Amino acid sequence: MKDLTNLSLLEQIDGLNSKEFSSVEITSSYIEKIEEQNKILNCFISLNENALEEAKKSDSKIAKNKANTMEGIPIAHKDIFCIKDQKTTCGSKMLENFISPYSSTVYEKLFNSGTVNLGKTNMDEFAMGSSNETSFYGNVLNPIDHERVPGGSSGGSAAAVAARLCSFATGTDTGGSIRQPAAFCGITGIKPTYGRVSRWGMIAFASSLDQGGIFANSALDAAIALENISGFDKKDSTSLNKKVPSFFNEASSTNKDHIVGIPRSIIENIKDSEVKNNFYDSVEILEKSGIKTKEIDLKNIEFSLPVYYVIAPAECSANLSRYDGVRFGHRCENPKNLEDLYARSRAEGFGEEVKKRILIGTYCLSAGYYDAYYIKAQKVRNLIKESFVNAFKEVSSVMMPTTANVSFKQNSIQDPVEMYEQDIYTIPANLAGLPAISIPSGKINNLPLGIQFIGNYLNEGNILNLSNLFQQNTNFHNE
């Protein structure tokens, strides 16, 4: 029998609906792979003991012709999405024993569409990191090269999809946490427009930047999955009340009416010549397939990194202030008084990277520095948004490398600033709230590289279509 885990999401859906194979068979195949490989890769924090029972229910619905859109498809969730009566840790000791009393909207939407939950994937603690080395549950390894990182913070989901331990996986992207690991692991990762996917039940890092999204093996697979998690949610005040189009139809369209913007000044400043050459090779592939390109100027983009590392820590310090050892989360033993309870619970519960960002954020929000740092950063953020607005008057999307380099070795970056610079090309889309997708674009020394397309607001279909056209003319996503 063929390996069901190597089929595309569309092939799995068709195979289940035609009863060529069952959900129990495909779920069992994934579980066997997880049991074999997770001991090495450390992709999963927890596994769903009821996965096979969920698969049996799906098979029963399919047999009665009552199947939902993705009935019986085995998937994984980043351990930042709450699931009722299940542990949600966010990769932190602070939430080591937290059992959620409710489910996130993303989980509920996928559950209602018929998916089978295989488990919760590993991640950088509270989504703070670019390498999946800050998790309380240990490092995740890149399935392509076990000495290297899978990227972060959604590295567990990226590695699980790349190793074919699930059909697709959910992730979150605050400054590139879907696209960067997608590039490092050689898969497709999409972050939609801010507000397209509900943040309800998704544990907050930086509320004005966080956005849920999808890891998949191709743009078409990502389109199907994204459509099923998108839509208005009255429980989320930032949710957009906009109709969700058929992303799959838009992605698979033969339309080539694209004008791709190339920010030449950014590309010329790429330090790694092989990354630069790969980017220009990708541009050539697009042009040969009939896609128009145009040079553009993205003013103020060079300020994205410092702006992000003021705004994100500021919002994180506010969001993480709720973890005080009183209502939920880690609580120290035998506190002397209330101040000791707060101090020791947080010191014991949070890891070093989280503490570092809380301190930076608290400093930026403190009296005397709020105007100098936070307010100024917000003003520059508006200038960055304006740069994209002006660019989209001339082009339909913007193309950039996803990362400045291929995946680096575990524990090889000790300088925090150097680690923060890993997100240099992904952060602008988050600051502007724009949809962005990363797809494989080739390899350097057998390690994958990615390119990303940034689209206009609510124009996920455009960048999915562009990505699919690129993948039709290349085979990088199948390698």
Q: Are 44 and 33 in contact (CB under 8 A)?
A: no
DSSP character string of 294-353: EEE--TTGGGHHHHHHHHHHHHHHHHGGG-SSSSSS---SS-SSHHHHHHHHHHHHS-HH
Active site residues: 78, 153, 177
3-state SS class at 190? strand
Q: Measure the CA–CA gap between 107 and 159, rounded to whole angstroms.
A: 20
Q: Are 239 and 120 in contact (CB under 8 A)?
A: no
The greatest distance separating any two alpha carbons of the chain, rounded to the nearest whole angstrom, comes to 70
Tell me whether strands 397-401 and 259-263 are parallel, antiparallel or unpaired: parallel
> Which tokens belong to 81?
């999405």
> Which tokens belong to 189?
């990762």
State the Rg of the chain over Cα.
21
Q: Measure the CA–CA gap between 360 and 350, rounded to whole angstroms.
A: 15
